[in-house]
Amino acid sequence: MDGKGRCLDNIFIERLWRSLKYECVYLHAWETGSQAKAGVGRWITFYNHQRPHAAHGGRPPAVVYFNQIETDQQGQRVA
């Protein structure tokens, strides 16, 4: 909740699940649970490290996150 009675935080989670279902789960017919777990794990890695995101200017979330950490650490070293 955003404090004003709206559930804006759920939008991001629902979008992630929708992307996972349509880009991964519905495209594969896994035989076992372990195959499904491995397939979803590969998709999550792809989603975080390779798939471009419009919200990040076409960059994957991992690139944005790790660049932010490096920038924060450099700022702490200077201070």
If you search the block for the tokens 């991001």, which residue do you land on?
A: 12
pLDDT tier at 13, thresholds 50, 70, 90: confident
Please give the helix or strand (H or E) that residue 71 lies within, else none.
helix 61-78
Q: Give the CA count within 13 Å in the CB-facing half-sphere of 1.
A: 3
Question: What average pLDDT score do residues 40-54 get?
Answer: 93
Higher pLDDT, 28 or 68: 28
Higher pLDDT, 76 or 45: 45
Contacts with 21 (C-beta within 8 Å, 6 or more apart), sequence order: none
The answer, yes or no, to whether residue 1 has pLDDT greater than 60, is: no
The answer, yes or no, to whether residue 68 has pLDDT greater than 90, is: no
Any idea where the domains of the chain sit in the sequence? 9-78
